[in-house]
Each structure stands twice: as C-alpha cells, then as structure tokens.
Amino acid sequence: MNPDPRTPSQTARHRWLAAAAGMALAAGVARHLLFRALERKAFVTPTDETSLAEPPDNSAPMVRHATFASGDRILHAAFMPVADPEAPALMVCHGDNECLPDWAPVQAMLADACIASYVFDYSGYGRSTGRPSVRRLRQDALVAYGQFIAAAPQSKRRVVLGHSLGSGILLDVARRFEPQPDGYVIAAGFSSARLAAVQTGRIPAWAAWLLPDPWNNAARASKLDRPLLVVHSRDDVVIVPPHAERVASAARHLHALVMHDAMPHDAALLPEHIDTFWPPILRFMHAQATGPEAPSRQARDAGHIMAD
C-alpha cells in the first residue's frame, strides 16, 4: 500500500477546508429553512367578506371587477375607469391585511380626481386563490401590470403605487415592467424587509444576519429609471420614518419625499385621512412628463423633503 504523499499540514488544511465547506452548507440550509418558516407566517391574508354577498355588479359604470390567472392561482381585481380614456391611471400594490374592499373609497376618490385606478388582490388575499410567497407575489405583480396596461391602454400617464408591504412587491419587479410606467409612488413603505422585520419584532436583531433580504427597497430605488415619490407619516409607528428617508436618499430619480404629520400607518385607507394623505399623489399623477424619464427638480436635489 502506497503511503499518503500529502504532508500533515496539507492534510490538516484539507480537513479544515472540508469542515468549513460543511459549515457553510449547513448555514445555508438553515438560512433557507428559517426564511421559509418565517415566510409562511409573514402574511396576514384577509378574506373579502363581500364574497358571501351577491356577485359584483359588472353593469355598474364606475367599477369593473375581473379575474385573471397568475400561475395556477386566480386573482381578483377592481378597475375604476373615468370618462376620459387618456386620463392618468394608477395601479396599486396594496399592503398586508388589506383587500379590494379596503381600497374602494380610495378608488372613488381617485375617480373624482379624474384618475383611473386598478387594484388587485395577491394570491391568498381577498377572494384570490392560493397562498402567498415572495415568489408568487412577484409573479402576481408582473401579471397584474399587464392587466393594468390592458385596462387603460390609452392613458397618457401611468403610475404604480406600493403601499406598506406593497412597496417591496412593487420595487421587486419594477424594472421588469414593460412598458415602463411614468412614475412610482412608495406610500408608508419600508427600506428593507429585514430591517422592518426586526423593528416590528418578527425576528430578533441577533438573528437578522441569518435571513436574506428579499425586498431591499432602498437598493432597488437606486436603480429606477423613472421619478419616485415617497410619502410617509412622521407619526407612523409601524414602519418608522427613517425607512422612508433611506428610500428617498437612495432613489436615483427622487421626485419628492413628503412627510405628513399626525397620521397613522394606514392613513392612505382611512376615510378621516384620505383627503389629507393623497393630494401630493394626485399632483404627481397629473404632472406632465418633460422627457423620457421626466425627473423633476426634486429628483435632481436628492434628499429634498417636503411637508404637506
């Protein structure tokens, strides 16, 4: 039998490398399993209580309910048109624990402002089938955008808004939208899903490094080729204001960072706050593009902060 030609130091080094590789593999598997376990518990998927009522009245002139396929799931959507087919149109990626009926008052307000709107429920939300996951929500948003374009084919200005959880879903796929919208809005959004999970107590700070960051909004905002409006409340205790500030600071084409006073996290949906929360967004919707990217003055002045 031939003796092992390797020296003791070489053998020890090979064993150390093998052990390190094994530990790295084990850490990767643990990281994946932890992420999947948290992902299953991360989403609060409300049921659309109107599902127990009569089917939506599709003959109503102001709202059109529709379904569409996303993978093997069937998603529900509500499109609110306006009289002018060329009017601005807004697509909404809504937040967690929200579904279509929550956005009905907002859609009515937008219609009054001559803005068409399209809201859809992700997999597992409202009456949409399936269960949510990061991968499925990504697919849902991409398919929904195609439905939005088809619903408002003549609109001369299209904008996509991400509210709370929807901020991550939107920015995850924004650069894959085709054609690109004319602008984006992040409302009550976070800068990093991992940071938000720590801040809200979903994971302890010491364990944060174990998790991937599927929705790093600040990093993705830095790559957008269209103007970005960021709207937040200084009194948001769910997603605290520094999240909005980080997204705005990172944005490649910042339109403005608007910080409201005395509003809760879900002010965008609350009847008592809708009339105050939305005006900056309405102005952005009606803004006229001046070029292929249409960066505003604020876009050239990174970090510009407005109180509205």
What's 101's domain CATH number?
A: 3.40.50.1820
Residues 69 and 172 both lie in one domain: yes
Q: Which of 92-106, 146-160, 275-289 has the lowest mean pLDDT?
A: 275-289
Q: Which residue has the higher pLDDT, 53 or 73?
A: 73
Distance CA 115, CA 88 (A): 5
Residues 128 and 26 both lie in one domain: no
How do residues 99-135 score in pLDDT, each as one tens digit?
999 999 999 999 999 999 999 999 999 999 999 999 9
- Judged by DSSP in three states, 181 sits in coil
SS (H, E, C) 9-54: HHHHHHHHHHHHHHHHHHHHHHHHHHHHHHHHHHCCCCCCHHHHCC
Residues 67 and 82 both lie in one domain: yes
pLDDT score of 5:
60
Report, as an integer, the average pLDDT of 67-74: 98
Residues 133 and 207 both lie in one domain: yes
How do residues 234-282 score in pLDDT, each as one tens digit?
999 999 999 999 999 999 999 999 999 999 999 999 999 999 999 999 9
Domain count for the chain, please give it: 2
pLDDT higher than threshold 50 for residue 33 = no
The answer as to whether 4 is a domain residue is: no
The residue range of the domain holding 17 is 9-42
Q: Which of 55-59, 103-107, 160-164 has the lowest mean pLDDT?
A: 55-59
Residues 209 and 82 both lie in one domain: yes
Residues 38 and 52 both lie in one domain: no
Report, as an integer, the average pLDDT of 72-101: 98
The amino acid occupying position 64 is R
Q: Which residue has the higher pLDDT, 64 or 5?
A: 64
pLDDT score of 212:
75
pLDDT score of 235:
97
DSSP 128-149: --S---HHHHHHHHHHHHHHHH
Residues 14 and 158 both lie in one domain: no
The answer as to whether 208 is a domain residue is: yes
Q: Which of 150-154, 162-166, 253-257, 288-292 has the lowest mean pLDDT?
A: 288-292
pLDDT band at 26 (very low <50, low <70, confident <90, very high): very low
Distance CA 212, CA 142 (A): 22
pLDDT score of 214:
82
pLDDT higher than threshold 70 for residue 225 = yes
pTM confidence score:
0.80
Q: Which residue has the higher pLDDT, 77 or 48?
A: 77
Residues 173 and 50 both lie in one domain: yes
Average pLDDT in the chain: 83
Residues 24 and 58 both lie in one domain: no
Residues 27 and 109 both lie in one domain: no
Nearest to 166 by CA among 122, 205, 136, 200: 122
pLDDT higher than threshold 70 for residue 94 = yes
pLDDT score of 294:
43
Q: Which of 36-50, 84-98, 199-213, 285-299 has the lowest mean pLDDT?
A: 285-299
